[in-house]
Amino acid sequence: MKPAVSPRFGGQHGSRSLALQVLLDCQPGQPFAQELLDTAFTTHRAPHAAADRRMATQLVYGVLRRRGTLDALLQPLVSRPQADVEPWLWDILRLGAFQLSLLDHVPLHAAMNETVELAAQFGRPQAKGFINGVLRNFLSLLTDEFGDTPASNALPVEPGRYRRLTRAVLPDPASQRVQYLAGGFSLPSWLVERWLPRLGWDECIRLGFWFAGQAPLWLRVNRLKTNRTDFLAALAGAGLKADVGDNPDAVRLTTPTAIRDLPGYAEGWFSVQDESATNVAAALAPTPGSRVLDLCAAPGGKTTHLAEQMDNRGEIIACDVDERRLQTVRELCSRLGIGIVQTVLLQETQRGRWEAPPAGPFDFILVDVPCSNTGVLGRRPEARWRLKRVDLVQLETLQVRLLRCAAERIRPGGTIVYSTCSIEPGENGQLVRRALQDLPELQLEAEQEQMPGAPADGGYWARLRRK
C-alpha cells in the first residue's frame, strides 16, 4: 500500500524525500534510476538545489547498490517479515540504515531525525516511532572498528575495509561463500552461484566491492568540436581534475561535478560514456561517407560516437523500439552538432516481435544488443534486482536473432560489431561462436572482453567481417 499523501519535494528534507520517491518508482518495467532522477530534478527547486541533487543521487544509488545487504542487517531488527511491511516504509528504513552505516559525511542526528520525519511527509506520522526504534537498534549493530578480512560480523565498506558489527548478522564466509557474497555485497544468489566457480573467491570479492561503490565518471570528447588536449585544459581552467583513458577520446573526471556545469556542455564538446563503451564504436571504425546501421541505438552514446568517427559525413540509420528513448538520441545529436543520424522506430507487430529494420546493404553495422547488464551493475544497480535466471536464455535468443538480422544486411566485405555490457560467456564469445556456425559468410576478426573495474565497466565486443 502506498502512503496516504505524496511528499512535496524541497525544503529542509528535499533530498531524502526525492530519493524515497525515486526508490519507490524504480520498479521492473519502469525507467532506470538515472532517468527517474532526471525527471524529479526538473521539478526540484529547493534552496541549495545542487547539494540536494547530489545527496539524492548518492542516496538512491547507494541504497540500490546495497539493498540486499541493508535488508540482511535490518530484517533481524523487525518482528514482521519484510513482505508484511509497506514498501515505502521499508525503503525509509533502507535510507536510514545506509546513511548510518555507509555515509561517513552525514551527521548522525541528521541521518536519524530527517529520515524519521519522512513518515510525516508521506502522510503517516504515526510510523515515526517504529522507524526511530528500528534505526536506533540498527545503530547498536555498528562499531567504529574496522578490519581487512571478511567475517559474519563485518560489513564490507570499501576494498579491503570491513566495518565490525556487534554481532554476527551475515553468513559465515568460510562455510557459506555464496550466501556471504550475496548478502555482504548485495548480489543475487543465483548470479553468485554462476560467478564463483568460474571467477574464484578473490575475483568475486573484487567485483563485489566494485559494484558496491560509485562508478567513475567517464566522458568522451567530441572530435567534431574539440580535442582531448583542449578539453582537458578547459577542465583544468575550471578547477576540475581529470585523467586520460587508453582510448584517445576518453577522459575520466576525478572531481565530482554536475554534468551540465562542466565546460563545453552546451557547446557539445563531450558526452557521458564509459571507456569500455567508447571502445565499441572504435572497434567498428566506420569511414566518412559510409552507410551505417545501428540496430539498437538508444540512448545514442555509441550512435553519436560513430558519427564523430565519420566526421559527420555519410548516413547512420539508428533503430530502436522505444520512441521516448529515440528522442534522447535526437537530442544528443542536436547538442553534439551531428546531422547524419536518421532515427527509425521499430513498431511491435506481435508480442515480443518487431518489424524488420531497414534493408541493406550497409557498409558497417553495430549490434549493441539488449543484455543482462552484468558488467555495469555499479552504474545500473537496479539491474541486479530486475534480472532473473530465466532472462539469460531469453536474452541469448534475442541476441542471436539480432546478429542474424545484421548478417542479412551487411554488404560483402562489410563489418559488423556485436557488443554487450555483460560478463556472461553465454552472451559474449560463446554466443558469437555458436552463431558463426550457422553464418559461414561471417568471420571473426577480433574480440575483446573487459572485466569490471579494469579500469572501466565490464563488457564485450566482437568484430565480424562478411567474406
Residue with cell 546513511: 99
Residues assigned a catalytic role: 421
Residue with cell 556472461: 424
Query: Could you give the 3-state DSSP secondary structure of residue 229?
Result: helix
Query: Could you give the 3-state DSSP secondary structure of residue 312?
Result: coil
- CA dist., res. 86 & res. 100, Å (int): 21
- CA dist., res. 6 & res. 426, Å (int): 43
Name the grid cell of 68. Answer: 540486499
Which of these, 96, 112, 30, 38, lies nearest to 63 by C-alpha position?
96
Residue 224 parent element (H or E): none
What single DSSP character describes residue 3?
A: -
Contact 464, 445 (CB under 8 A): yes
Tell me the CA distances in angstroms from 151 to 167, 177, 183, one per residue in order.
Answer: 11, 11, 12
Angle at which helix 128-141 crosses helix 108-116, to 10 degrees, equals 150
What single DSSP character describes residue 313?
A: -
For residue 36, give the amino acid letter: L
**For the chain, how many helices (H) and strands (E)?**
18, 16
Name the grid cell of 196. Answer: 564463483
Contact 122, 20 (CB under 8 A): yes
For residue 7, cis peptide bond before it (omega within 30 degrees of 0): no
Tell me the CA distances in angstroms from 45 to 15, 16, 39, 55, 118, one per residue in order.
Answer: 11, 14, 12, 14, 18
Tell me the CA distances in angstroms from 210 to 66, 183, 204, one per residue in order.
Answer: 12, 15, 10
How far is the first Cα of the chain from the last one, in angstroms, to the nearest whole number?
59
- CA dist., res. 370 & res. 157, Å (int): 31
- CA dist., res. 110 & res. 112, Å (int): 5
